[in-house]
């Protein structure tokens, strides 16, 4: 199986990512507000907060996974195209379609542009 996603799978993944993030954020906000408004036991409040934060973290991690799989990055110095390791991807600074990453080929740290691969690469 190819490491790259097809265009259809990419679209479905990005739609699912957006839906999960929106619902997780809304759920987190609503439960956090309700926990302090309603009169329930402390244990119930803790359980509700843990459930909402757990769902939010799962949605966040999944969205990072999908975002990483839907494109690759091109080094602006050596123009090599690669997919960064998940840990580097998660902890790197990003600005829309570029991330501050270290190129695995030229070892230079710079802002790498996200590219979408379909046969030949096209910049987003």
- Please, are residues 19 and 26 in contact by the beta-carbon 8 Å criterion? no
Specify the pLDDT at position 47.
Answer: 93
Round to whole Å and give the CA distance between 31 and 28: 5
Give the domain ranges of the chain.
Answer: 7-69, 72-123
Ranges of beta strands (E only) in the chain are 72-74, 81-82, 94-95, 98-102, 109-118, 120-123
Q: Is 96 a residue whose pLDDT tops 80?
A: no
Q: Is 1 a residue whose pLDDT tops 80?
A: no
**Which of 65-69, 87-91, 108-112 is most confident?**
108-112
pLDDT in tens, 59-80: 888 888 887 777 788 888 898 8
Rounded to the nearest 10 degrees, what angle do helices 42-69 and 7-37 cross at? 160
Band (13; pLDDT cuts 50, 70, 90): confident
pLDDT in tens, 15-56: 888 888 899 999 999 998 988 888 889 899 999 999 999 999
């Amino acid at each position: 199986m190819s490491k790259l996603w097809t265009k259809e799978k990419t679209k479905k993944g990005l739609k699912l990512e957006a839906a999960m993030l929106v619902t997780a954020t809304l759920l987190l906000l609503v439960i956090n507000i309700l926990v302090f408004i309603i009169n329930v036991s402390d244990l119930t409040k803790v359980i509700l907060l843990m459930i909402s934060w757990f769902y939010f973290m799962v949605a966040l991690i999944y969205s990072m996974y999908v975002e990483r799989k839907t494109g690759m990055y091109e080094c602006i110095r050596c123009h090599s195209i690669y997919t960064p390791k998940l840990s580097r991807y998660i902890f790197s600074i990003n600005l829309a379609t570029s991330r501050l990453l270290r190129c695995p080929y030229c070892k230079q740290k710079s802002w790498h542009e996200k590219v979408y691969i379909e046969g030949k690469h096209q910049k987003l």
